Structure 1
Amino acid sequence: MSRIRARFWDPTGARYGLPSYPWRMAPPHLLTLRQLAARGLRPGGQGVQALLQWASRRYRARGGVRAAYLYDIRFALPKRTPTLRQLGALAKANAARRTCPDCSRDVGYVLSRRLGVCNDCAERREMEHAA
């Protein structure tokens, strides 16, 4: 095992407070949130069971270490299915995010928070200010 990987190898949790494993060396029953979600599961109230750590050149200014939380698949529960009312509320909320306040059209994409209006209205405003 390389020195970098050995730095993150702590299955007892003595060094980091939680068991810690290097990239791709965690036991198969420990998964990240995304891996659980891909299998249709959620943590189900369990806390973080372990850390997955790796060195990153991209984040060298912040210590160069990245981490992901791991959850035990044995304690995971199936994802909850939303009710029809929840789905309806979500559809309304998403429609509101796509509706331009100036022209009142559903533009088919989520409006930019910076602009606050659809691209056509933003362009029209820009033309008016330029003239």
Structure 2
Amino acid sequence: MSRIRARFCDPEGKRFGIPTFMWQGAPDGYATLRQLRALGLRPAGQPVAAQVMWRGVGGDRVAFLYRVELAKPKRTASAAQLRGVACALRARRTCSTCRIERPYFIPRSLGECLDCAQEG
């Protein structure tokens, strides 16, 4: 193991305060937020259990790890929430000048659809 990788190996958490593992060195049972999402889980308010550290382009990088057995299933949106999102997205596609719903989001810089912006 190189010195750089060994610097991040602290499974007891004496140096960094929480258990720290090197890149791809975390034991089973831990997952990042992205990995939890891929499994259909969420941290459910649990504290950070450990971290993974590695040397990156801009310096040392950190990814926080959560316990998989304490994670809970992701919550699903209600029908009313889904309707609200659909309504908001429809409003972003509707031109304020000609009131036509376009297949693209209206650019905020123009404030109207591309056809109305070219005419005016």
**2: distance between equivalents of 1:105 and 1:76?**
45
1:3 alignment partner in structure 2: 3
1:20 alignment partner in structure 2: 20
TM-score (norm 2): 0.84
CA separation of 1:66 and 1:116: change in aligned 2, threshold 3 A:
farther
- Equivalences for residues 1-131 of structure 1 within 5 A: 1-57=1-57, 59=58, 64-122=59-117, 124=118
In structure 2, give the amino acid aligned to 1:14: K
Task: Output one character per residue of 1:64-118: Cα deviation in whole Å (capped at 9) or x when no partner.
Answer: 1111111110100011121111111111122223333334333333344444444
In structure 1, give the amino acid aligned to 2:25: M
TM-score (norm 1): 0.78
In structure 2, give the amino acid aligned to 1:2: S
Q: How many equivalent pairs are there?
A: 120
CA separation of 1:82 and 1:4: change in aligned 2, threshold 3 A:
same
Secondary structure of 2:64's match? strand
Secondary structure of 1:75's match? coil
Q: How much identity, in percent, do the aligned residues show?
A: 50
CA separation of 1:115 and 1:47: change in aligned 2, threshold 3 A:
farther
Q: Which runs of 5+ in 1 are unaligned?
A: none
Q: Which runs of 5+ in 2 are unaligned?
A: none
Which is helix-richer, 1 or 2? 1
CA RMSD of aligned residues (A): 2.0
